[in-house]
Structure 1
Amino acid sequence: MLTNQTLLSDIRTIISNAKEKAIRSVDHERTLMYWHIGRRIFEEEQAGLDRANYGNYLTTFIAEQLEPEYGSGFSKRQVELFRQFYRTFPIANTLYSQLSWSQYKILIRIDNQHKREFYIVETMKNNWTVRQLERQIHSNLWEHLLLSNDKENILSITRDEEHLSDAKQIIKDPMYLEFLGLHREASYYEKDLEQAIITHLQDFLLELGNGFAFVARQKRLHIEGDEFFIDLVFYNRLLRCFVIVEIKSSKLTHQDLGQLQMYVNYYDRFEKKDFENPTIGILLCAEKNNAVVKISLPENNKTIIASEYKLYLPTEKQLIEEVNKEIEKRENELV
């Protein structure tokens, strides 16, 4: 009987694999079809350079003729995407069967060629779904990578999610919170920053890292008659632990680390279940002194993390400088 069950399991695996291959094959053929349509439109457009707005006329004409016959997949917007697809990827041999048309539609929107190639490679390497690709783009993985001194650690955020055990592999430093909409010139308090995070909670969770779920805000603790309030509490399903976030709109101090350590100790002793891992504490600050952080915490510390936040993404000039530095570094390594 056991042999029969094994046989059935093997057959089901064969069927499932065949279905997946068939779906990928069909999607790749569809992607190639859109590429050929885009090339044909582009060639016709180039032949009519002397006619103003000829490209717009073509896409409108094609959509009017084909949409009634083939459906919304040939709307004007879709036809324009076919043309843009060809212009972004003009060589058919560079199209990958591992990437779906839905993923290519996302990649088309990335103007920077190096940035686009990075996401293509990482998508295939990590077998990202469409949703995972969007998440990594929206959480500015490329920008974090360029500005990080620990690029391997940043990349580890995207890989082997179910096997991560170190919080530093998930939590980003620095975090870019430009989506909060706080003005550079304005002064604000921790409560203002906290309220902005709650208002933009979904964006903050993407920036915070993978696997986070919101638990509480201003969590009240009673300790022998004294009251304390934790700014934000999350749970991370990958690390299987609570994550406490304390917000400081000024430079980090060793007293801030001590306060966060107390909160972490409380959760470990009164909230954590036996099957869960030790609580993680994140001190989200405007500025930090790494030496102070290192000396204030035990040498084997794995539960307290200080992370700077930035209210604005790096400028194009900064990114170009970082790209040039990386290129120069790689050229020197090859010498």
Structure 2
Amino acid sequence: MSQISNSCIDSIRQIISQAQTNAARAINQERVLMYWEIGRHIVEEEQNGKERADYGTFLLKNLATALEKDFGSGFSFRQLNFCRQFYITFPIMNALRSQLNWTQYRLLIRIDDSDKRTYYIEETCNNNWSARQLERQINSQLYERLLLSNEKEKVLAVAKKEAQPENPREIIKDPMVLEFLGLKPQASYYEKDLENALITNMQSFLLELGNGFSFVARQKRIQLEDDAYFIDLVFYNRLLRCFVLIEIKTHKLTHQDLGQLLMYVNYYDRTEKQADENPTIGIILCADKNNTMVEFALPKHNTNILASKYQLYLPKKDQLEKEFKKIVQDKLA
């Protein structure tokens, strides 16, 4: 008896895997539509009984009691309340995205700001974020951090693919949040420790870096006459169409650090960059920085050398709001 070929086995495996994926996607879509329809019926029933202030709670409790007898705990008072909010937040069925599952929609309906919610919807679909990745981006306040150095309209246009990023600041955050490394903010460690942790958690680091990044090299050696230098991390960004060099400094940023990175950027521009590519970008990840020093240490119209402060914990909302208000005031001054 002849043996079946490996290529045939691989093809059948692919067919089964694709069918399972399609089935799971179809089930998810039906689940989302089911919850939307439940929400619609609840809201319409509430509106008919709106003369009673407590009618909504009364309705959900009684409905949950009836449904749980037949269908189990998946239709609890809490779940039905999510259905109600789901319909209120997304009242048009055709606006629902097939790429999003119910867990992701539950995260999204908690966002009151419609622009912010739109941003996370677009980016989740663009990048195929899982529910866990979406939750992490919301908790790290990705949207707010991008607004610290960008106009809201530009951030949304890039997310909706109505515009391509023209400036590195449009996709590179300051601060960068590295809570996924599991390092304690108060602990002392070497730059090599942070670099090793980033390499170990590369998938999470790429998520934090943002759209279009791919890893190229670590400790990239460059030789200048008799001297050897090593660039900590090298990436390429397909949206900006350029190399991105990252240097890690676990101390407060100095002008010497900026000079070193500028040398690396110049080297890449003159020896590695192709004619059809954009100028190389350099980013210093630092523990702290003096923004005024950075401004005066770099050329007046610099767009290619960026200093981004890293933090090893999720940012506090009031902290970002304070920074954002300060930037707005500086622009109006």
Question: Which residue number corresponds to residue 196 of structure 2?
Answer: 195
SS in 2 for 1:89: helix
**Inter-CA distance 90–211: structure 2 relative to 1 (3 Å threshold):** closer
| Separation (CA, whole Å) in 2 of partners of 1:92 and 1:258 | 50
Aligned to 2:218: 217
Q: How many residues align?
A: 284
| Alpha-carbon distance in 2 for matches of 1:287, 1:77 | 48
Residues 236 and 209 from structure 1, CA distance in 2 versus in 1: closer, same or farther, beyond 3 angstroms?
Answer: same
TM-score (norm 2): 0.69
**Residue 120 of structure 2 corresponds to residue 120 of structure 1:** no
Letter in 2 for 1:313: L
1:155 aligned residue: 155
Unmatched 5+ stretches in structure 1:
1-24, 49-54, 65-75, 330-335
- For normalisation by structure 1, the TM-score amounts to 0.69
String of CA shifts for 1:290-322, please: whole Å, max 9, x gaps.
111111111122211111111111236647x65
Structure 1 residues 96-118: Cα deviation after superposition (integer angstroms, max 9, x where no partner): 53123635541313574425x44
- Within 5 A, what are the aligned runs for 1:91-102? 91=88, 94-95=91-92, 97-100=94-97, 102=100
- Partner Cα distance (1:162, 1:194) in 2: 33
- Give the 5 Å matches for 1:18-29: none
Cα distance, 1:140 vs structure 2: 3.9
Contact 1:84 1:108 in 2 (8 A): no
Displacement after TM superposition at 1:167 (Å)? 1.2
2:104/2:134 contact within 8 Å kept:
no
Deviations 1:186-244 (A, max 9, x none): 11111111111111111111211211000011111122121111100000001111100
Distance 1:132 1:59, change over 3 A: same
Moved more, 251-260 or 151-160: 151-160
Instruction: Report the Cα distance in structure 1 between the residues aligned to 2:141 and 2:287, rounded to whole angstroms.
Output: 19
1:297 corresponding residue in structure 2:
298
* Alignment root-mean-square deviation, CA: 4.1
Q: Which residue type is aligned with residue 141 of structure 2?
A: E
Rounded to whole Å, the distance in 2 between the matches of 1:222 and 1:323 is: 41
Report if aligned partners of 1:180, 1:200 keep a CA contact under 8 Å in 2: yes
Paired amino acid for 1:47: N
- In structure 2, distance between residues paired with 1:58 and 1:284: 56
Q: Distance in 2 between matches of 1:59 and 1:142?
A: 37
CA contact (8 A) 1:38 1:84 kept: no
Match of 1:89 among 67, 86, 90: 86
Residue number in structure 2 paired with 1:131: 128
Tell me if structure 1 keeps the 8 A contact 2:236–2:242. yes
Aligned equivalent of 2:21? none
Give the secondary structure class of the aligned counterpart of 1:97. Answer: helix
Cα distance in structure 2, aligned partners of 1:211 and 1:291: 30
Tell me how far apart the structure 2 counterparts of residues 324 and 256 of structure 1 sit (CA, whole Å): 27
In structure 1, how many angstroms separate the alpha carbons of the residues matched to 2:228 and 2:127? 45
Identity percentage of aligned residues: 41
Distance 1:78 1:130, change over 3 A: farther
Matching residue's letter, 1:290 = N
The secondary structure found in structure 1 opposite 2:159 is coil
Unaligned 5+ segments in structure 2 are: 1-28, 46-56
Residue of structure 2 equivalent to 1:35: 39
Instruction: Report the Cα offset of residue 91 of structure 1.
Output: 3.7
Offset, 1:61 = 4.4
1:216–1:233 CA contact under 8 A, matched in 2: yes
